[in-house]
Amino acid sequence: MPRSLFCRCGAVYDADKLEEGKLYKCRECESLLSVENAVDEEELAVRQEEAIPKSGALISAVLILALALLGFAVAAFQVKAKADDARTKYENKVKSYEPLLKEWEARAKAIRIVDESEKRASSYMKKVFDYITRARKKVYPAVVRIFCTTTTGMAGTGSGCIFRPDGHEGRKDGYIVTNFHVVQNADILEVTLSNQETVLADCIYADDFCDVAVIKLKDPSKAENITPARFGDSDKIRVGDYCMAMGAPQGLGRSISLGIICGVNRYIVMPLGMHISHREHVFFQMDSAINHGNSGGPLVSLRGEIIGMNTLGWVQFQRVGYAIASNYEREIANEIVRNHEAGDQPFVDRSTFGLRFMLQKDLGIDWKTGAPVASVASDSPAYDAGIRPGDVIVRVRNTKTNEVFEPTAKELGDLARVNYIFEKNEVMTEFEVTWKDYITGEEKTATMTSQGTPAREQPRLTQAEDLWGAKLEVCTATDLEIAGFGDEDEGGFVIRSWAPGTKRLSYLPIAMRSIGLQRGDIIRYVDGVKPQTHWDMYRTIVSHVRRDQTRGTSTPVIFEVIRGKTKLYIPIMFQ
């Protein structure tokens, strides 16, 4: 039977062709083989069966290893691909952030600039506070509190400032400037100084027309250690400048509030009281807090100079105040002091044409230009030129400067500007005026020259107006309806009762009861002019008397009066 030599690696060799006693090396696995280990065909088949599984496991292992290597390679390739993709995305994202990064860098630079600006602002504010301190030292000691009392026991408080009039260098006379409405009804003036001294003062003159008054300490030596404040040039003040409002609000001690100038050249029509028109005033508007009692106190610049007088505060508007410009205040105060020291009556001479104006809407018109006339003084240049209430002035030319105005009165600010055009002039200023007649609509032109109207010492009037011994109240529509004249416009005054005693004005020493007027009379017109206020009636009569004195004549003042159900025209002679 043929024999075979079987190797453990599965290789088979023919033993019959091999020599006995020799060793042979397997060609597959190089194992040593001997013929002595030869087997017959049956045993060879058995051994081959046993070798097959071992060979398959090896192959399987090799295959598994190969697959594992392949999977690892694939995985490594995928990881690399993902890494490359992620890197690409990251690089693209970084590139997309480049504009944003540049913006952030710009912002960072801006922040650094802001920081430097803040440093500069901090340095600037330090300088501002230094200026405030210096300005306070210059003016604050001169600020006073004024306590006013009347013989009837009424009292009020205000503020003022010790000042040095022009030409008084080196002198301390105890002059104090304040508002007219602070001292208008005072019989006794007590001034509390910064050194806590309380000194009585006399009112030299208080002018309702400009709301400026000057009082003088009876004992100026009490203030000899106080340096008077100095006036600055209010024309140089600009919107946004810092300002300090000084005074004694609410009757308390002196105080300071800081703010800025919010507006210049403000024209305010709203009066503070029955007799204060403010039609000459040019105001500063500021947000420095002022309250009742601040009136008359100085508005101060950071240079330590008076640039205005705190005059008006509107409680309905938070932190809105107004101050009379110092150039105007200084001019009036100096004129009062000059006249006082010259031994003359310290009146303030001013120019007037005798006109008062109203808004276009009050006349029921809406024109591009035009200022309707509300009233005309009976002996005024405007009256002599032929202008009457209701006429509309459309053009004004100053014949000396040839300056032309086209006055317009649509809003309150316009109305004040129109008043300012006609009232703020030198005496003997000549205007060529063109107006439209209210009755015929005819356009007329005339020339008129302003006249001087020296202010006179005004009497003190209580809330229920006491004039020439009569209690006067404004005539209402109800009064006219009761009298049977309900179709007429309300206005004028009603004599409600006689005042206790007979109070007489120094300029016109008369009493209404003695000139034929009766209780219940409604005074509608005086010399053809409907009085808007009690002082309109007084000034109309005074103007009439002055005109008679100038012309050397004696003519009656015509009162248009409603008595009972009848309208009367009563001529009254004033001497």
Which H helix or E strand runs over 375?
A: strand 371-376
Q: Which residues contact 303 (CB under 8 A, 6 or more apart)?
A: 131, 135, 232
What are the Cα distances from residue 449, in Å, to 369, 380, 386, 428?
A: 23, 9, 13, 5
Contacts of 575 (CB under 8 A, 6+ apart): 554
The DSSP symbol for 139 reads: H
Tokens of 42: 């049956």
Q: Take residue 358 and report the two structure tokens written for it.
A: 């109203």
Amino acid at site 153: G
Give burial (CB, 10 Å; 0-12/13-18/19+) of 160.
buried
Place of tokens 């509107």: 314
| Beta strand 298-300 pairing with 351-352 | unpaired
Residues 462 and 472 sit within 8 Å (Cβ to Cβ): no
The DSSP secondary-structure symbol of 337 reads H
Question: From CA 447, how far away is CA 260, in angstroms rounded?
Answer: 44
**CA 307/CA 318 separation, integer angstroms:** 22
Minimal CA–CA distance to 10: which of 44, 41, 57, 61? 44
Length of the chain: 575
535, 403, 526, 562: which is closest to 460 by C-alpha?
535
CA gap 34, 11 in Å, rounded: 14
Cβ proximity of 403 and 376 under 8 Å: no
- Which residues are part of the catalytic machinery? 181, 211, 295
d(CA 354, CA 521): 27
The H or E element containing residue 498 is strand 493-498
Q: Which two tokens stand for residue 77?
A: 């390739």
